[in-house]
Amino acid sequence: MKVLVVLAGLLALAASSVNSVGKVVCYYDSKSYVRESQARMLPLDLDPALSFCSHLVYGYAGIQPDTYKMVPLNENLDVDTAHANYRAITNFKSKYPSLKVLLSLGGDVDTEDQQKYNLLLESPQARTAFVNSAVLLSDQHGFDGIDLAWQFAKIKPKKIRSTWGSIWHDIKKTFGTTLVDDKETEHREGFTALIRELKQALSVKPNKQLAITVLPNVNASIYYDVPAIINLVDFVNIGAYDYYTPERNPKEADYATPIYTPQNRNPLLNLDAAVTYWLQGGAPSQKIIVAIPTFGRTWKLDSDSEIAGVPPLHASGPGEAGPYTKIEGLLSYPEVCAKLINPNHQKGMRPHLRKVTDPSKRFGTYAFRLPDESEEGGLWVSYEDPDTAGQRASYAKAKNLGGVSIVDLSLDDFRGLCTGDKYPILRAAKYRL
C-alpha cells in the first residue's frame, strides 16, 4: 500500500513538472518558402526546431470573399502535389508524436478585400460556410485544429503634432474619439458566435484544438468577450509587439515590444497591460500565451535625431530593407546580428550598430548608428534577441501563464549564422520557461 502511495505521489509530481514547463507555440509563415538566398525556409529547415515546440502553427489560410470559405492563400504551395506544404508540415507528427499542428487564418497577410472579415461576422450564413470549410480543410490535410488570427480593425497610431495641433486634438478628445469600426459591438458578438460554432463543429472529432491569436494593435477590449469565449478555446496567443513600427509611426522611433510601460508612454501599449486585460476578464492564466517576435523594427535617423539614441527619437521613415528579407523597416534576427559591433569585424568595414541593453529588463533592447557616422546614414532598431526572449519567457513563468509563442521561426536564426547555434531565440525562450 505504501508503495502505491509513493508511486502515486511521484506520478503527480511528474505531471506537475510537465505542466509547469509551458507551451512553446511555434509559428511558421509559409511566405518564407518563396524568399531568396539565406532567408528561404523549406519545411525541412523546421526539423531542428520542433523538439522545442509543443505546437507548430502554419500561417496562413485566408477567406474567399464571395463564398466566405476558408481557403489556402497559395494553392500551388499549400495543397498542389508539386509542393503540398500542408501535408509536409503535418507529416512532422510522425517524427514528433506529441506535436500539435494547427492551421492559422488571417495573420494580417490576407489582403484581398479585407472587409470580408467584418462581413462574415455579420452573417450567420457566412459563418456557417466558413465553419464547414475550415473543419473540412483542416481534416483533409491532417491538422490538429485551427488558430484564428482574425484581422480586426487596428487602433490608430499616435500622431506627432505641433503645439496648436496638440491643443486642437485635446479639444476634440473632450467631445469624443473617432471609432475605427462603427459596428464594433456587432463584430464582437459575431466573433463570439463564430468561436462557439467553430468549437462545436471541431468537437465532433476527438482532440481537435481551437486557438485564437490577438494580432498587434487590435484593441482586445473591443472585440474579445473574454468570459464568453475563454472556455471554448485551448489557448490565446497575445501578439504584444509592434506597438511602434516605421509604417505606423514613420517620424518617431520607439520600443516596439516593451514588457512594461516606458516613462510617459501610453500605459496600454505593452505586454503586461495586454495580459492583464485577459486575466481580469477571467481567463485562466494557463490559457494565455505570450508572443516573442524574432525580428526588429527599423527607422532611419536624420539630423533631427537625438545623438544619444535614447527613444523616443525623431526618425525619417523605415530603415532600408535587409539583404535577405528585403522588407523596408524590418530585419530578421540574423540580419540584426550581422549589423552589430563585433570585435572580430575587420577594420575598414562600414560602421555597425551599437547595441544598448536594458538593465531593468522592462522595455527591450535597441541598437543604432548615427547619421554622421557613415555615408549609409543613421539607423535605429528595436529588436528581440536571446536575452530579451528569455526575459519574456521569464515573465510568462512568473505570471504562471501557459507559455510563449515564437513569431515566427523563419525570422529566427534558423541557419545558425550568428553564433553557429540554430534557432537561438526559440532555444532561449524554451530554457527560461
* Whole-angstrom distance, CA of residue 158 vs CA of residue 367: 23
Provide the CA 221 distance to its chain's centre, in angstroms: 18
DSSP type of residue 105: E
Q: How many CA atoms lie within 13 A of 12 on its CB side?
A: 6
| Residue 157: burial class (beta carbons within 10 Å; 0-12, 13-18, 19+) | middle
* Whole-angstrom distance, CA of residue 301 vs CA of residue 297: 13
CA trace torsion 271, 272, 275, 276 (10° rounding): -150
Quote the CATH superfamily of domain 23-156+183-294+384-432. Answer: Glycosidases (3.20.20.80)
Q: What is the pLDDT of residue 103?
A: 98
Q: What is the pLDDT of residue 190?
A: 98
DSSP type of residue 38: G
Q: What is the pLDDT of residue 82?
A: 78
pLDDT < 70 regions, the chain:
1-21, 159-178, 343-351, 373-376
Q: What is the pLDDT of residue 16?
A: 38
Q: What is the pTM of this model?
A: 0.90
Q: What is the pLDDT of residue 351?
A: 61
**For residue range 146-202, what is the model confidence (pLDDT) as tens digits?**
999 999 999 998 765 444 444 434 433 433 445 789 999 999 999 999 999 999 999
Distances (CA, A) of 381 to 31, 369, 393: 23, 9, 22
Q: What is the pLDDT of residue 393?
A: 98
